[in-house]
Amino acid sequence: MDIVIIGTGNVATILGKKFRLAGHTILQVAGRNSAAASKLAYELNTVSTNYLSSIDRNGQLYIISVSDNAMPEIVGNLKLPGKVVAHTAAALSQEVLKDVSEHYGVFYPLQTLRKEMAELPETPLFFDGNDDISKNMLEKLAHSIAGEKVMQAGNDERLRLHIAAVFASNFPNYMYTLADQYCRMEGIDFRLLIPLIEETATRVKTVSPAAVQTGPAIRHDTETIRKHLELLTTHPILHKVYAFLSEQISEGK
């Protein structure tokens, strides 16, 4: 498949690498930052442009992988009649592309992606399209890089998936951040917690998260909770988060 990638960030980079490994041709990379566009184009063995007016019109599929805030500028200045165009955002409707082409959709990877990844992670893919032409092309592309981990998901379903992803990834990482900050202030090596983090993540692959919940709150160990909160009085944010989460866990919410 001949693909043009619009965007140079984490998602654009990893998808571009996956497309190449699957045997697709990246005709061009387009990005506002000339250095970033050139760098990604070099990695994907293709050419780059910094102008939407210079987009290669010979592609079969155009993947727009930019921030949600940048999307209005892109769709307002890009016309690709007859081409299949898709964005990679979870929280944006596919209809934002209706003025770009009559064939449009979404190609959403449910994974946290970083440019510097040495190995490309397993990535479930969710696609959708406004017609059979866009759906068929996006589904075929998804299967080529994700095997059987491919599903069709409409606008509302993708948004719900994104909310779940925030709870499953973004919020736990914020907890790691708070734990790291606490460790630094208290002279504790955060790396001592890594085996615990890894074991919890491993267990939820096969067991319900509720079934692996541990700690004083689930045991209703009020004395330990009291001692923890007393020590956290000098850490107001940690105290607030600890108290709230302990209450929720204790009440089974």
Fold equal for 2-153 and 159-250 = no
Q: Domain residues of the chain, as ranges? A: 2-153, 159-250
Question: Residue 85's closest CA among 108, 106, 110?
Answer: 106
Tell whether domain 2-153 is in CATH 3.40.50.720: yes
What is the average pLDDT across 29-57? 95
pLDDT, tens digit, 9 for 90 and up, residues 123-143: 899 999 999 999 999 999 999
State which fold the 159-250 domain adopts.
Answer: N-(1-d-carboxylethyl)-l-norvaline Dehydrogenase; domain 2 (1.10.1040)
The 10s digit of each residue's pLDDT in 59-100 is: 999 999 999 999 999 999 999 999 999 999 999 999 999 999
Question: Alpha-carbon distance 98 to 91, whole Å?
Answer: 16
Inter-CA distances, 142 with 13, 21, 106, 128, 242, Å:
16, 13, 11, 11, 41
Residue percentage of the chain with pLDDT more than 90: 93
How much is the pLDDT for 253?
Answer: 64
Residue in 201, 170, 196, 184 with CA at minimum distance from that of residue 238:
184
SS (H, E, C) the chain: CEEEEECCCHHHHHHHHHHHHCCCEEEEEECCCHHHHHHHHHHCCCEEECCHHHCCCCCCEEEECCCHHHHHHHHHCCCCCCCEEEECCCCCCHHHHCCCCCEEEEEEECCCCCCCCCCCCCCCEEEEECCHHHHHHHHHHHHHHHCCCEEECCHHHHHHHHHHHHHHHHHHHHHHHHHHHHHHHHCCCHHHHHHHHHHHHHHCCCCCHHHHCCCCCCCCCHHHHHHHHHHHHHCHHHHHHHHHHHHHHHCCC
Per-residue pLDDT of 182-203, as tens digits, reads 999 999 999 999 999 999 999 9
- Predicted TM-score (pTM) of this structure: 0.88
Q: What is the mean pLDDT of the chain?
A: 95
**Average pLDDT of the segment spanning 242-251:** 95
Q: How many CB atoms lie within 10 A of CB 15?
A: 25
pLDDT at 229 over 90: yes
| Residues 142-194: tens digit of each pLDDT | 999 998 899 999 999 999 999 999 999 999 999 999 999 999 999 999 999 99
The single residue listed with the structure tokens 């190449």 is 20
**Residues whose CB is less than 8 angstroms from the CB of residue 236 and which lie 6 or more positions away in sequence, other chains included:** none
